[in-house]
Amino acid sequence: MLKRVHFKHPVLPYLLVAPQLAVTLIFFIWPAAQALWQSMLVQDAFGLGTQFVWFQNYLELWGDPQYLNSIKVTAIFTISVTALGIGSGLFLATMADRVIRFASGYRTLLITPYAVAPAVAGVLWLFLFNPTVGILAYLMQGMGIAWNPLVNGEDAMIMVIIAAAWKQVSYNFVFFLAGLQSIPRSLIEAAAIDGAGPFRRFWTVIFPLLSPTTFFLMVVNLVYAFFETFATIHATTSGGPSNATNIMVYKVYKDGFVGLDLGSSAAQSVVLMFIVIALTVVQFRYVERRVEYGT
């Protein structure tokens, strides 16, 4: 039965939720409303003149080849970072769950990268992949692989995907490991007695029970790839070379703070916000149907 809480004073419930409502209004609703209003204005770089243009900024976006390219780049980047981060986290969690000796040491080392700032993670991988002094670049050149993320757009995209996913692997690892440890060993042992091999036990028993964790991490990783990878891009490629890594959130920054086109930048931020909201709704509406919650 659902247990209901009754307050002696009718005002008390509103006082309890007031701080959270204030934070939501000040830091979420108000900035979103300001961005929506700003997206319908055109003003000079010095803010001396402003003109209300309705949806002109939005219409100009769909005729801008650079903006359309940033959408394509963002789609490739987001899917790759999400898939690589979740896949790597699941693989490492599965391996760590089997370790008996020095298990806590292995898990601590795997969690450590999450403490690294995104900008630092980007600079780290930029140094490793640097064609002049990078260790990984030196090894690839020794194998005959032409590698130069400073001038080659595909190489730069691979580098930022690896850097962004590496930063998020530890977060995914923690949740997958917790999910694996919550699975009753009796279920896995019963599947083994029935003759199921390790691979079949994983896909028929373990992975379906991890579906709530996987769904949660899918939502978190998509939001991370859309918004929180700005520092990684800014510290490594600055959207280059030739806009090959110019994702949508970074184009918002370049057009607004570098180009001082505030109206177009605000319109791009609104479009990005609605894209993320739409993807989240689709995930909860359709993907969650396949999630199996244990009872």
Mean pLDDT, the chain, whole residue set: 86
CA distance to 13, 230, 247, per residue, from 8 (Å): 10, 48, 52
For residue 54, give every residue at least 6 positions away whose Cβ sits within 8 Å of its Cβ, in sequence order, or none: 40
Mean pLDDT of 212-229: 91
Name the region of 41 (left: φ>0; alpha: ψ -120 to 50; beta: rest): beta
Distance of alpha carbon 80 from alpha carbon 10, whole angstroms = 50
SS3 42: strand
Residue 221's pLDDT is 94
Q: What is the pLDDT of residue 260?
A: 83
Report residue 279's pLDDT band, with 50, 70 and 90 as the boundaries: confident
Q: Is the model's pLDDT at 295 over the cut of 60?
A: no
Q: The tokens of 111 are what?
A: 């969690």
Highest mean pLDDT among 73-87, 111-125, 131-145, 259-273: 73-87
**Torsion, Cα of 249, 252, 254, 260 (10° steps):** -160
**For residue 198, pLDDT beyond 60:** yes
**Residue 293: per-residue pLDDT:** 56
Domain residue spans in the chain? 57-119+168-290
For residue 82, pLDDT over 90 is answered with yes
How is domain 57-119+168-290 classified at the CATH fold level?
MetI-like fold (1.10.3720)
Q: What are phi and psi of 75, to 5 degrees?
A: -60, -45
Q: 172 and 217 in contact (C-beta within 8 Å)?
A: yes
Q: Which two tokens stand for residue 61?
A: 């976006």
d(CA 148, CA 244): 13
Give the residue from 161, 176, 275 showing the smallest Cα distance to 218. 176
Query: ∠ at Cα 221 (200, 151), nearest 5°?
Result: 105
What pTM was computed for the model?
Answer: 0.87
